[in-house]
Structure 1
Amino acid sequence: MKESFYPKRRPAEMRGAHFMAAMLLLLTSLCAVANGFPFRMPLDLDVTPRVTVLSSGLKGCRRFESSAVNYSTMLLEADSEWLYVGARGAVFALNASDISASSALSIEWEASTEQKLQCVLKGKDNKTECFNHIRLLQRFNSTHLYMCGTHAYMPLCAYIDEKKFVMSSQPEEGKDKCPYGPMTGYTALILDQQIYTASRYDFWSFPDIRRNAPSPALKTENAPTRWLNEADFVGSALVRESLDSSNGDDDKIYFFFTEKSQEQSTTYSHSRVARVARICKGDRGGHLTLQKRWTSFLKTRLTCSLPEYDFHFNMLRSIFVMHGLTPQDTLFYGIFGLEWKNVKASAVCRFSLSEVQEAFRGPYMESQDSGSTWKEYVGKIPEPRPGTCITGKLRAKGMNVSTSLPDEVLDFVRRHPLMSHQVQPADRRPLLFRRTTDYTHMAATVVQGVDEQMYHVLYMGTDEGWLHKAVAIKGQLHIIEELQLFEEPEPVTNVLLSTERTSVYVSSPSGVVQLPLSNCERYTSCYDCIFSRDPHCAWSGAECVDVMTQSKRSSLIQDIQQGRTGCENTGYDVVQRSRSVRVGDDVLLQCELNSNLATPFWTLNGGEVQGYDLNSGFRTGTDGLLIIEARQDQSGIYTCHAVENNIKVAIATYNVTISLDLPPPPTEQTRNFVPTVPGTEHPSSDGAQSLLLLSPKNMEAMYLSLITILGGLCVVLTVVLAYVGFCLRPDQRGKYSLRAAAAAHPSSKRSSRCRKQHRNSTHMELKTVSSHCNGVCNGVSKLHNGDIQDGGFLQIVPGEAQTLASNDPPPPAPPLPPTPQHTSPECDFPNGLSATLPSVLRRMNGNSYVLLRQSDSENTSPLSHCFSEELNRILEKRKHTQLLPRPDESSV
C-alpha cells in the first residue's frame, strides 16, 4: 500500500476507528472460539470408541516388513493363498494365513540411477518421488497379474507370472495407464482383460477416465465443457446391473472423486465437491460425434452433510462398495472430510445404488457463460435419453451399439454431463462423525448376529495408524474398539478383509499388519461381552466366544441393538480389597474402567456416596474416589460400579477402616521409605499442622490467597530481574558468591551467618507429594556441605566463584521496598482476604499436588512469618551480595 495514502500521524477519528475495528475483530474471534469454531456437532454423532487397545496389547497380530517402504497396493482373492502387496520398488507375495511366515516371495523392480537423475532434473523430490511406486496390481487373466509403477516419473507396466512369481515380459509403456506421481489420485479396474483407469496421466493433462485396452480406447471429453474439473479420484467399482435385468441393461462402472465445483447454489457453496460418475461397460463411443469418447458419461454430486447444523463434508477420501444379494442392494460407504486442511474431522456416509440411479434419471445441468455457471436445464430432452446404456428396447429399434446413437443425442451428452439432482445419504445424515480423527481408508463386511439379522461391520484406518472397528445400528455407527497398529504414528494406506482367513490386512508406509476380524477373548464377563455390541462375539455362559465358530447359537447371549440385556442372571467376579487408615488422611480408592463409555458410580454400605464438593469430604475422578481428611464415620464398604447403557456393574469393593491410632515414630530404617499404597501414609507433625490449615471451610480462601501471593511474587521478581539486567553497569554483571559477599561486609548483622550457614539457612523448600504421601513425608534428602543428608529439603545454592582482586568499591545495593508492618503471622491482601500461605496444595480429580514452604532458618516455623517478611529477608541478603566482574557457572 502506498505511503501517500496515509499521513504519518493519523487523525484521532481514524485511530479510534481502527481501534474499534480491531476490538470488533477480536470480539468476533473470541465469540467464534466460544461457540466451537469452526463447528459444533450433535453429541450422538461424535462417537467415542468403547475400548482402546494399545499396540502392546494386540493379540493375534502378525506383521510383515522389509527394506522396501510405502506399502500402498494390495490384492487378495477369495480362493487364493497369497496376499499380493505392491510397495516402492518391489512386489511381494505373502502367505495370506500368516503374512509373517518366511515363505514370502518378492520381485524387485526399481528405477535405474539414470532415470532417478532425470526425475531430479524435472524438479521432483529424490527422497520420495523419484522411485518406482507400484500403483496398479490386479489380476489380468487366470495365469497372470498386471502391475504398473511410476518408475521415477516415467510410468511402466508389466505382467507377472503368478505361478513362478516373476515378470514374464519386458516392461511396456504405462503413461496412459498409470499416473506419474506416487500421490496423484488414481483408481483402476481390470475387467475381462480391459483396463479402466482414472487419473491425471502426465504433467499438464486434464484428469481423465480411460479404457486403454483392448481397442477401441475411450476417454472423457474436454471441449466445449470439461467433463472433469481438477478431479482427484479415490475409487471405482463395477456393478453388474445386467444380472436379472428385465430390460436387458448393461453393466456399469462407477467412479468416485472430488473435483472443483461447477454448480451455483443459494444455500451453500464450496470450491470442491464429492462426485460419482457412471459409464457403461459396453460403451464403444460415437460414430462421428464423440468419436473415441464416452457416450454414456454422466456425473452427479454426493452429499454428506447436516443442513440443520450447516455442516457439509465435501471432500471424498475413500469409498467402499458393499455388494448385496442383488445389484439393487448395493451400498456405497464413503469417508468424507472438510475442505479446511487445518481442521481434523471425518464423517462416514452410505449411499444406495437405487438413489444414485434415480439421480441419473433426473434433470440435467446446463453450462452458461463459457462453463463458469451451471444451472438446471429446462429444455427438451432428445430420445433415446442421453447417457443411457444400450437396452433391449433400443436393440429392438436397431441400435445395438453406442455408435448407432443419433448425433443429436450424442451432442446433448457432450454438453450436459452434469446432473441436477444430488445423491443424499441413505440415512439422510452421516452414520458417524469424528472431530479429532482423519480416516484414510476403510473396508466392510456383513456378519449375521444371533438374532438372525445382518449387520455391517466397518474397519476404518486413520492417518495416525489406528484401526477403528464399528457396527452400523439404526442409522448410526457404534465404534466397538480402536486398535493402535504402530507405536509411531503413520497413515493407513489400504485396508482389505478376508472372511475365509478371518483376517483384516492393513498397509502403511512401513509394512503390513494382519489382525483377526475379532478378538472376543478380550471381554472377560457377560456384561463386557454384550456391552461391546460386536456381531462377532456372544456369551456362551462361561466365556465370550466368536459366533462364527459356534455351530449351536440358541444358547448364546448377544444384544447388538441395545447392548444391555441377557446377563441379569449371570455371575461375575468383583475385586475385593481392605484399607486401614488414620483419621485425617487422604484416601484414594482406585477404580479402573475398561470401557471408555462407562462412568463410575460409588456406594457406601449400599447407599450412594452423597456429594462430591469440598465440604462433603469426597472427590471423584477418572482414577477413583478420593476421601479428603478421612473421618471415622466414613468407614464402611465402598463399591465402585461401572455404569454403561444404564446398567450398573460392580467392579471393585473396598473395606475401609478409619481409626484414631497414631503410627509409630519413624526410625532410621524407615526414614527414607516412601509409602506406595494409597491411603496408608502418616504425615509428620508439620504436615499435620499444614493439613489443619486446609480444612474444607478455608480451602476456597486459601486458593484465592495463593493466587494473589503468586501474582505479587511475579511482579517483584520482574522488578528485580529488570534491575539486574538493565540498571547495573556491564562490567559489574555476573554471578555472585555468598561467601565473598559476606567477607566484604563484616558489619552486617547477617554476614557471619551467611558465611557460616549459607548452605543450610536461607533456601526455598520444594517438595512434590504424590498420591501416596499426605503431609510431609520422611526421608527427603538435603544438601549439606556438598553431601546428601537425611531430614531436610533440596536447596538451590548459588555458585562459588573465585573473587578477583579489585580496588573498585562494591556497587550500591538496590533500595528495599517499604516493609509492611505486621504483627501477626497472617498477611492482609488488598482484596480483603486474610490467610497464610498454604503449605499443602491438594491433588484434586486426578491431578498431582505439590508441597511448598518457605523457611529462613532451621529454628523458624514456616508459618511464623508472612510472605512479605520472607521476601524482605531475601532482599536484605541480596543487599550484601557482591557482583563479580567475570561471570561463572552457578551450581545447583
Structure 2
Amino acid sequence: MRRSVEMQGARSSAVQLFLLLSCMCAATAGYPFRTPVDLDVTPRVTVLNSGLRGCKRFQASAVNYSTMLLEADSERLYVGARGAVFALDASDISAIPALTIEWEASPEQKRQCMVKGKDDKTECFNHIRFLQRFNSTHLYMCGTHAFSPLCAYIDEKRFVMSSQPEEGREKCPYGPTTGYTALIIDQQIYTASQYEFRSFPDIRRNSPSPTLKTEDAPTRWLNEADFVGSALVRESLGSSSSGDDDKIYFFFTEKSQEQTTTYSHSRVARVARVCKGDRGGHLTLQKRWTSFLKTRLTCSLPEYDFHFNMLRSVFVLHGPTPEDTLFYGIFGLEWKNVKASAVCRFSLSEVQEAFQGPYMENDDSGSKWKEYTGKIPDPRPGTCITDALRSRGINVSTSLPDDVLDFVRRHPLMSQSVQPSDRRPLLFRRTTDYTHMAVHMMQGLDGQTYHVLYMGTDDGWLHKAVDIKGQLHIIEELQLFEEPQPVDNLLISAKQMSVYVGSPSGVLQLPLSNCRRYVSCYDCIFARDPHCAWDGAQCVDTMTHTDRSSLIQDIQRGSAGCENTQDDVVQRSRSVRVGDDVLLQCELSSNLATPLWTLDSIEVQGYDLNSGFRTGTDGLLIIEARQDQSGLYTCHAVENNIKVAVITYNVSIRLDLPPPPPVDPTRDPYRHLATLPAPTERSSSERPLPPALAPLLPRSELLTPRNMEAMYLSLITILGGLCVVLTVVLVYVGFCLRVGQRGKYSLRAAAAAYPSSKRPSKNRKQHRNSSHMELKTISSHCNGNGICNGVSKLHNGSMHDGGFLQIVPGEGHTSPNKEPPPPAPPLPPTPQHPSPECDFPNGLSATLPSVLRRMNGNSYVLLQQSDSENTSPLCYSFAEELNRILEKRKHTLLLPRPDESSV
C-alpha cells in the first residue's frame, strides 16, 4: 500500500511537472510579446519565384550588389559590388554588354588585411560602399579596399576611373558591414560611420574646407552609433520665409543615455541634424559642428508593451514643401533571436518641434541624462543662421557667442522624443525581418494620393503594401530568389515603372505592378492596388491609361464597383457511386479569402460530424455519398464581406456506376487505406451522360479522398502518440526522482550508503556496452564469471562483505523482424539452493528485475557480468545462477512493460 501511494505521488508530481513545462512552452511561444491582431497583416497574394512576371536580372562574376545609384535623366542604373562597378540600362538591366570597372584589392593589400586578423573570405576585398554623382561629368565612389579605404572619380561618359585613387580613411568605413551613410551636396561630402577600427562613430563633412566632425569630449555626442541613412531637406532662402538654412538629417541606433522609467532598452533609435552652412566655432568648437542636435525616434505600442528600438532602414519621402517631408522607418526589436518588424512614419514638422523643445543634460556624477531645467542662452543653441541672427550681425557660426557654443557642447540631446504621425506603427510583422524600403506616391481614381511601400526581407521576399488611413494593406508578397538571401537595397523609378532590388547574388528589376495577375473584376478590386483598375474586360495598369473615366477601383474599402459585372465561373460535373467519398476541390488565390460551400443555394454545414461533409482549405469532402446529396455544389470566396462564386460542381450520386477495379493487396503498399473510384469530370457545355459510361481514366490510388483522409488521421495519430510518449517519459522521470530521493530501490544508493571502511580496497575496471545492459560484480576478492565470496549478501536491507551489484542500462539489440518476439517457452523445474555461501536470501531476486525487460519492444536485455579470467570455486557461474532464477519462475510470463521499480 505504501509503495502504491508513493507511485501515485510520483505520478502526481510528474503530471504537475508536465503542466509546468506546457505552461513554460506556451509562454516561450508568445515571448516576448502578444500579437496585435489588427496590425499583424497577412499578405493577400503570395507569388513564388516561378510565378514572377516581367522580372529581369543582372548577375556578373562579382557578389554583394549592395550600392546603387539611379540616374533618371541618363536612364542608367549604377551598381557597386565587391571589386567592380557596373553601369546598366535602367529600362532593361539584363541587356548586355554592361559597362564595367574592375577595382580589386591587390594581393599584397589582401595579405596585409589577413595579417590584421580579418576574414579572407569576406572582409579582405574591395567592397564598394559609396557611389554618387559628384558633378555634371563625374561620379565619386569609395571602397573598403581590404581594410584600407580608397576613393576615386569616375568619368561618366567613358565610364573609367579618371584619376588615381585617393585616401578614403576619413570618408569610408573599413569593413563591408559597418553602419554607414553618405551624401554629396553641392560637391561637399557628408559621411557618418565608425571609420577606423578603434575610433568612435562620427558625422563629418570631409571636403571642401572647413572640415567638421562631432565632439568627443567632455561630452561624447555619439554613443556606439550604427548609421542607416541620411537625407537633405532644402529649407534655405528660396523656400523659407525666415531665411533658414538647408539641413542634413542622419538616422541611426545608439546606446541609450536617458534616465527614464518608461524604457528599459539599452539601445534606441535616433535622428540627428546639422546645418549645411555650419562653419564651426571660433575658439570653442573649432572644426566641430555648432548645430548638432539629436533626439529619439519612438516606434512602439504601449498598450501591448511593444517598443521597437532598433532602426534598420529609413526612406525620406519629399513633399511639395519641406514641411511635407515624411520619414518612413523600419524598426526591429533588440532581441536578435526574435524576428519582428514594425513600420513607423514621422513628419518633419514633429522632428523640428522636438528640436525646439527642452534639452537633456548629463550630471557629473553619472552617465545618465535627465531633462535640463536651467536657463537657455540666447541665441538658442543648435539653431542655424537665420534672418533674425543676420540682423544681429551673426552671419556665420564662427560669430556665435562662446556661452552658446559651450552649451551646445554639453547639451546635444533633446528631451522630447518624436512620435509617429499616427501615434502607432503602420504595420507590424511578427515573423518577418524587413531590411530595406522604398516608397512611391500614386494617385488613385478617387483623387487621393496613396503611398505604396516596397519592403524587402532578410530571406529574399518583396512585400508591396499601400497606406490606407494610417494602416498598411499588403497587396502581395513576391519570392525573389530560389535560395533565401537578404535584400540589400531598393530603388524605384517612376519613369521606368520599375523597382530595382540589390542582393548578394545580383540585381533584379520588377514592374511596379502586375495587374494582369488578377483575372476577375472582384479579384482586381479586392487587391486595392492603386496601380490597378478594372476596365470591364481585364485588370489594367492605370499609369498606362490616359482615359480613366471607365475604370473601376475601390482602394478605401476594396468591395464596390463589380456589382453589375458577370465573371466567368468554372463549371464541372461529377458522377459518384453511392457510398463512395469524393473531394470537390476549390483553390482560392487570396490568402484573405475564406471558402463557403452551398448545395442548391443552401449553405453546406461542413463542421457538423453528422452532416456527411467536411470542409477545408483544399475543398469539400463528401463522406459515403448518398443519393440525396446530389445537386449543384458551388464554392464561394468570401472577402471584404463579398461572396464571389469560384467554381461549381454538378454532382450526380448514382447506384448504377461500376465498382472500382480490384487492387492486388500484395502489390499495394497502402492496402490498409481505403481506395476510391476516380470521379468523372465534364465541363458545363457537355451533354448529359449517356447510359453507357466510358472507361474511367487511370489515376493514382494514393491521391483518392479516402486515402488523403486516412493519411491526415494517421498524421494526427502520430502527433498524439508523441504527446503521450512525452507524458510517459515525464511520469517516469518524476517517479525516478522520487525513488532516488528515498533510496529504497537504487543499487547505487545502497552502495553509496555502505560504509567506506567495509568497501573493497580495489575495484575492477568496469566495461560498458551501448548495445546491452550489464549486471556487474564489483569485488576485491573474486574475478571471473561467477558470483563470488566478495559479493555481498543482503540481510534485512543491509550489505556486507564489501561487494555490490551494479546495473548499467543500455539498449537491446534491435531485431530485423518488425513482429514482436514470441513468448518464452516454459523453463525446467528449479533446483534448491545448493550452496548457501554464495546465495542471497532469494537467489538474485533482491537485485535482479522480476522479469527480463524488453528494450524498444523487440529484443530482451542481456545481463552480463564483467569479463575476468578466474571463477570462484565456491560459487555458481553467472549463467548457472541466472538459469536457476529463471527456473524458479517457469510459470511467470514475460511482460512487455514490467514494474518500473524492478530497475
Q: Which TM-score bucket, shorter chain as reference?
A: 0.7 to 0.9
1:133 corresponds to which residue?
A: 127
1:121 corresponds to which residue?
A: 115
Conserved 8 A contact 1:588-1:678: no
- The offset of 1:268, in angstroms, is 2.2
1:375 corresponds to which residue?
A: 370
Call closer, same or farther: CA 1:370–1:293 in 2, change over 3 Å. Answer: farther
1:32 corresponds to which residue?
A: 27
Q: Give, in whole Å, the separation in 2 of the partners of 1:470 and 1:665.
A: 51
**Higher mean C-alpha displacement, 658-667 vs 477-486:** 658-667
1:315 corresponds to which residue?
A: 310
- The offset of 1:605, in angstroms, is 0.7
1:52 corresponds to which residue?
A: 46
Residue type at the aligned position of 1:438: D
The structure 2 residue matched to 1:192, chosen from 186, 194, 203, is 186
Conserved 8 A contact 2:576-2:657: no
Conserved 8 A contact 1:68-1:90: yes
1:541 corresponds to which residue?
A: 536
Call closer, same or farther: CA 1:710–1:507 in 2, change over 3 Å. Answer: closer
Call closer, same or farther: CA 1:311–1:398 in 2, change over 3 Å. Answer: same
Deviations 1:303-345 (A, max 9, x none): 0001111110000000000000111100000000000000000
The structure 2 residue matched to 1:271, chosen from 266, 274, 277, is 266
- The offset of 1:41, in angstroms, is 2.4
After superposition, where does 1:606-685 map in structure 2 within 5 Å?
A: 606-661=601-656, 663-664=658-659, 666=661, 677=678
Length-normalised TM-score, structure 2? 0.75
3-state SS of the aligned residue for 2:408?
helix
Residue type at the aligned position of 2:583: L
The structure 2 residue matched to 1:67, chosen from 55, 61, 71, is 61
Q: Give, in whole Å, the separation in 1 of the partners of 2:548 and 2:572.
A: 38
Call closer, same or farther: CA 1:577–1:166 in 2, change over 3 Å. Answer: same
Deviations 1:459-496 (A, max 9, x none): 00000000000000000000000000000000000000
Call closer, same or farther: CA 1:19–1:304 in 2, change over 3 Å. Answer: same
Deviations 1:137-185 (A, max 9, x none): 0000000000000000000000000000000000000000000000000
- The offset of 1:816, in angstroms, is 10
The structure 2 residue matched to 1:84, chosen from 70, 78, 85, is 78
- The offset of 1:198, in angstroms, is 0.1
After superposition, where does 1:173-192 map in structure 2 within 5 Å?
A: 173-192=167-186
Residue type at the aligned position of 2:148: M
3-state SS of the aligned residue for 1:132?
coil
Conserved 8 A contact 1:344-1:436: yes
Q: Give, in whole Å, the separation in 2 of the partners of 1:705 and 1:392.
A: 75
**1:560 and 2:607 correspond:** no
Conserved 8 A contact 2:224-2:255: yes
Deviations 1:638-693 (A, max 9, x none): 110000000000001111122234634736999989878469999xxxx9xxx9xx
Call closer, same or farther: CA 1:162–1:631 in 2, change over 3 Å. Answer: same
Call closer, same or farther: CA 1:676–1:470 in 2, change over 3 Å. Answer: farther
- The offset of 1:77, in angstroms, is 2.0
**Higher mean C-alpha displacement, 303-312 vs 705-714:** 705-714
1:239 corresponds to which residue?
A: 233
2:247 corresponds to which residue?
A: 252
**Higher mean C-alpha displacement, 455-464 vs 571-580:** 571-580
1:355 corresponds to which residue?
A: 350
Deviations 1:699-723 (A, max 9, x none): 99x98999699979999xx9xxx99
2:333 corresponds to which residue?
A: 338
Q: Give, in whole Å, the separation in 2 of the partners of 1:331 and 1:736.
A: 70
After superposition, where does 1:479-558 map in structure 2 within 5 Å?
A: 479-558=474-553
Q: Give, in whole Å, the separation in 1 of the partners of 2:36 and 2:659.
A: 57
- The offset of 1:622, in angstroms, is 1.1
Deviations 1:11-45 (A, max 9, x none): xxxxxxx99999999687356237x2211122110
**1:473 and 2:520 correspond:** no
- The offset of 1:49, in angstroms, is 0.4
- The offset of 1:269, in angstroms, is 1.6
3-state SS of the aligned residue for 1:120?
helix
1:832 corresponds to which residue?
A: none
Conserved 8 A contact 1:588-1:679: no
2:35 corresponds to which residue?
A: 41
Q: Give, in whole Å, the separation in 2 of the partners of 1:130 and 1:103.
A: 28
After superposition, where does 1:705-716 map in structure 2 within 5 Å?
A: none
Q: Extract unaligned runs of 5+ from structure 1.
A: 1-17, 748-796, 799-807, 821-867, 873-892
2:772 corresponds to which residue?
A: 725
Q: Give, in whole Å, the separation in 1 of the partners of 2:428 and 2:106.
A: 45
3-state SS of the aligned residue for 1:446?
strand
Q: Give, in whole Å, the separation in 2 of the partners of 1:420 and 1:282.
A: 25
- The offset of 1:101, in angstroms, is 0.5
Call closer, same or farther: CA 1:257–1:734 in 2, change over 3 Å. Answer: closer
Q: Extract unaligned runs of 5+ from structure 2.
A: 1-12, 669-674, 682-695, 733-768, 776-784, 786-809, 828-857, 860-878, 898-903
2:205 corresponds to which residue?
A: 211
Residue type at the aligned position of 1:631: R
Deviations 1:415-454 (A, max 9, x none): 0000000000001000000010000000001001111110
The structure 2 residue matched to 1:97, chosen from 91, 94, 100, is 91
Q: Give, in whole Å, the separation in 2 of the partners of 1:661 and 1:388.
A: 91
Residue type at the aligned position of 1:553: R
Q: Give, in whole Å, the separation in 2 of the partners of 1:703 and 1:318.
A: 46
2:598 corresponds to which residue?
A: 603
- The offset of 1:582, in angstroms, is 2.1
- The offset of 1:588, in angstroms, is 1.1
Conserved 8 A contact 1:188-1:236: yes
Call closer, same or farther: CA 1:734–1:177 in 2, change over 3 Å. Answer: closer
Q: Give, in whole Å, the separation in 2 of the partners of 1:132 and 1:676.
A: 65
Residue type at the aligned position of 2:595: P
Same amino acid, percent of matched pairs: 75
Structure number with greater Rg is 2
Residue type at the aligned position of 1:250: D
After superposition, where does 1:745-760 map in structure 2 within 5 Å?
A: none
3-state SS of the aligned residue for 1:130?
coil
After superposition, where does 1:694-705 map in structure 2 within 5 Å?
A: none
Residue type at the aligned position of 2:373: V
2:165 corresponds to which residue?
A: 171
- The offset of 1:88, in angstroms, is 0.3
Deviations 1:605-651 (A, max 9, x none): 10111241322222211111112222222221111000000000000
Deviations 1:361-404 (A, max 9, x none): 00000111355111100111011100000001111111100000
Q: Give, in whole Å, the separation in 2 of the partners of 1:565 and 1:672.
A: 57
2:781 corresponds to which residue?
A: none
Q: Give, in whole Å, the separation in 2 of the partners of 1:595 and 1:176.
A: 51
Call closer, same or farther: CA 1:708–1:397 in 2, change over 3 Å. Answer: closer
Deviations 1:754-786 (A, max 9, x none): xxxxxxxxxxxxxxxxxxxxxxxxxxxxxxxxx
Q: Give, in whole Å, the separation in 2 of the partners of 1:352 and 1:712.
A: 54
After superposition, where does 1:223-238 map in structure 2 within 5 Å?
A: 223-238=217-232
Residue type at the aligned position of 1:213: S
1:780 corresponds to which residue?
A: none
Count residues with an aligned counterpart: 727
The structure 1 residue matched to 2:409, chosen from 411, 414, 419, is 414
Conserved 8 A contact 1:161-1:167: yes
3-state SS of the aligned residue for 1:410?
helix
Conserved 8 A contact 1:225-1:371: no
3-state SS of the aligned residue for 1:725?
coil
After superposition, where does 1:835-850 map in structure 2 within 5 Å?
A: none
